[in-house]
Amino acid sequence: MPDDSALADAEWTALLEARHRGVPGAGPLAALFAPLLVPAAAADGCVVIGRLAQTLDGRIACANGASQWIGGRGDILHTHRLRALCDVVLVGAGTVHHDDPRLTTREVAGPNPVRVVLDPQRRLPVTHKVFSDGAAPTLLVTSLPGAARHGQAEVVVQPDLPGLLRDLAARGLGKIFVEGGGRTVSAFLAAGCLDRLHLTVAPVILGSGIPAFTLPEAACIGDGLRFRWTPHVIGDDMLFDIALDRVKPGNQVA
């Protein structure tokens, strides 16, 4: 199989233009990115894509939170491409606490998305880069009313994920990239709020660590969510593109 992380500059520029025009792109990765480029099908007006890089045994980080890097160079490039093609990059508080990410598109040409951090209990200090580096507009989403700003970030009080998607769409932010961690991607899946999942699997076994998915308990294998997937080779890793179409655990269509 060809390496799908090896994208010529001209092909990447064409995808950025397709995003701008709201049409499906052309070229080798058009099918992978097209769902992000066309108008949303969901009533809330959003296209939501979740992404994780996991080990063969389903871990996204060591038990101490170290996660850099589970995926290789191809996965890093893919992640930055998703940031550039979306209006929003969204992460959970655990990811900001452990990684202190900037969430910019510095590995590829393209605009920085608006950064959204979910911190229900407002536990994160303002010293994190996303709240202080000025690299892109940032929203802190919480369940607790309080100060209207958190460092340079605007505070949004919204405890509900479907409500958050409606709020973001009302701001003109309809392409939502949920970059991690596991609890945050799982929360979007459990709420039936994911259109697509891009799951990178790296040839690594940890045997311990933070899990990729935590969902309501399944009593038998048939209760698990089962999907069709399209595999892509990205360097030494495999990327699985999965159409979730807003399915919820316990609510799947046969």
Ligand X SMILES: NC(=O)c1ccc[n+]([C@@H]2O[C@H](COP(=O)([O-])OP(=O)(O)OC[C@H]3O[C@@H](n4cnc5c(N)ncnc54)[C@H](OP(=O)(O)O)[C@@H]3O)[C@@H](O)[C@H]2O)c1
List of residues contacting ligand X (CB under 6 A): 52-53, 60-61, 65, 67, 70, 91-95, 97-99, 119-121, 123-124, 179-184, 210
Closest to 161 (Cα-Cα) out of 238, 56, 90: 90
Of 162 and 211, which has the nearer Cβ to ligand X?
211
Cβ 157 vs Cβ 144: under 8 Å = yes
User: Are 70 and 76 contacting, i.e. CB atoms less than 8 angstroms apart?
Assistant: no
Q: Which is nearer to ligand X, 46 or 89 (CB)?
A: 89
Closer residue to ligand X in complex, CB, 91/169: 91
Residue nearer to ligand X on the CB measure, 93 or 153: 93
Find the residue with minimal CB distance to ligand X.
181
Token pair for 20: 């701008």
Phi and psi at 5, nearest 5°, equal -85, -10
Q: How far is the CB of 68 from ligand X (least distance, A)?
A: 7
Beta bridge partner(s), residue 40: none
Residue placing its CB nearer to ligand X in the complex, 93 or 139: 93
Closest CB 157 distance from ligand X, rounded Å: 15
In whole angstroms, the minimum distance from the beta carbon of 179 to ligand X comes to 6
Q: CB of residue 22 vs ligand X: minimum separation in angstroms?
A: 28
Q: Which two tokens stand for residue 163?
A: 């409500």
Beta carbon of residue 208, minimum distance to ligand X (angstroms, whole number)? 13
